[in-house]
Amino acid sequence: SDAGGDDEIQINNRTSRLGVKGSEDLGNGLTGVYKIEYGVNISTNVGGNEFAGNGGLGARNAFVGLAGGFGTFVIGRHDTPLKISTGSLDYFGDTAVDNNLGYTEDLLDLRADGTLAYISPAMGGLTAAVALVPGENTTSVEGEEADGLTDAYSLALMYSNFGIFASVALEVATPETTVHPATSGDDHENVRVGLGYKHDMFKVGMIYDTIENGVDDSTSIMLNGSVKAGPGNFKAKFFKVDSDDSTANLFRTGSHDGFGFGYDYNMSKRTQVAAYYVTSEMDDSGDESSVVSFQVNHSF
């Protein structure tokens, strides 16, 4: 990577995880479902502290639920519907160009603890998802307590049919909750719209996202594309973020724009190698950074 004129080489973990999931037939059309997953942090080095041994396990989705013809109810730690609503449009997922975990970090995607969630069955290609997160008496910066069922909530409506995908989502958290840590007395409101088209040989997608929280309001837009090429895929991405926060570090928050591209090659059904490049420029300072990333993925 190259940031502010300084070159460095890093070995990074890209959301490696390990877990178990399953289901149990309960009869009468009902199915019990469960999942417990942990992130395996094989490399969490901090510059100058390479031998600290900071690796370990981190909590990901962990829930139990009940599924049937009515849909699926789950309780536990789970991706919010807003995160789910555009997950299929992030063609660079778990890479250096990832929408929310990569060096661009343009979206704020969350898993929420203590979630009550419902996902409807698909009806004519339309699916709805709702998640409620009680505040459990957490306290805001102004001393107010969150003691209700809907102190934070996330809603999403998704359509997928004939190669077309469209979604709209809303996520709201009061300042008393810890779902979105608040630094003001205002609610955190996140609205996201997604649109995509998938063909046998290619797919394209767009994500538009706005956040208002009284401190750092922002608007983001991402355009993604992927084209099949032999046993792999060529991918490209453009992103632009307009943010009130002009003091944050490059690739994190603050107004910036840039692009990324890469190629992933499937060596087998379970093993993939990839190479990516991403560059970004801060609007206010004009600082530029670029990253070249080589990655190996193995699923088992």
Least confident interval from 95-99, 159-163, 216-220, 282-286? 282-286
Q: Look at residue 139 in the predicted model and tell me its pLDDT.
A: 58
Instruction: Give mean pLDDT, residues 126-142.
Output: 78
- State yes or no: pLDDT of 198 exceeds 90: yes
Q: What do you get for the CA distance between the two ends of the chain, in Å?
A: 30
Calculate ∠ Cα 134-136-139, nearest 5°: 110
- 57: confidence class by pLDDT, cuts 50, 70, 90: low
- State yes or no: pLDDT of 105 exceeds 70: no
- State yes or no: pLDDT of 142 exceeds 70: no
In whole angstroms, what is the distance from residue 270 CA to residue 253 CA? 34
Buried b (16+ CB within 10 A) or exposed e, 80-97: bbbbbbbebbbbbbbbbb
Range ranked top by mean pLDDT from 47-61, 103-117, 208-222: 208-222
- State yes or no: pLDDT of 22 exceeds 80: yes
Question: Average model confidence (pLDDT) for the chain?
Answer: 83
Which residues have C-beta within 8 Å of that of residue 50, sequence separation ≥ 6?
none
Q: Look at residue 256 in the predicted model and tell me its pLDDT.
A: 82
- State yes or no: pLDDT of 169 exceeds 90: yes
8 Å CB contact between 196 and 205: yes
Q: CA gyration radius for the chain?
A: 20
Token code pair at residue 271: 């093993």
Instruction: Give mean pLDDT, residues 251-255.
Output: 58
Instruction: Give mean pLDDT, residues 14-21.
Output: 87
- State yes or no: pLDDT of 231 exceeds 60: yes
Least confident interval from 29-33, 36-40, 248-252, 273-277? 248-252
| pLDDT above 70 as % of the chain | 79
- 47: confidence class by pLDDT, cuts 50, 70, 90: very low
Residue indicated by tokens 């060529």: 234
Least confident interval from 84-88, 90-94, 103-107, 133-137? 103-107
Q: Look at residue 17 in the predicted model and tell me its pLDDT.
A: 87
What are the CB-based long-range contacts (under 8 Å, 24+) for 179-183?
Answer: 179/110, 179/112, 179/133, 179/151, 179/152, 180/108, 180/110, 180/152, 180/213, 182/140, 182/141, 182/213, 183/141, 183/213, 183/215
**DSSP state, residue 290:** E
8 Å CB contact between 131 and 111: no
- 204: confidence class by pLDDT, cuts 50, 70, 90: very high
Which residues have C-beta within 8 Å of that of residue 75, sequence separation ≥ 6?
63, 64, 65, 115, 116, 117
Instruction: Give mean pLDDT, residues 229-244.
Output: 91
Helices (H), the chain: 81-85
Q: What's the fold here for domain 2-298?
A: Porin (2.40.160)
In whole angstroms, what is the distance from residue 193 CA to residue 222 CA? 11
Domain positions in the chain are 2-298
Token code pair at residue 91: 């063609």
Instruction: Give mean pLDDT, residues 213-219.
Output: 77
What are the CB-based long-range contacts (under 8 Å, 24+) for 185-189?
Answer: 185/140, 185/141, 185/142, 185/214, 186/212, 186/213, 186/214, 186/215, 187/213, 188/212, 188/213, 189/213
- State yes or no: pLDDT of 82 exceeds 90: yes
3-state DSSP percent of the chain in helix, strand and coil, to 5 = 5, 55, 40
**DSSP state, residue 138:** E
Q: Look at residue 176 in the predicted model and tell me its pLDDT.
A: 67
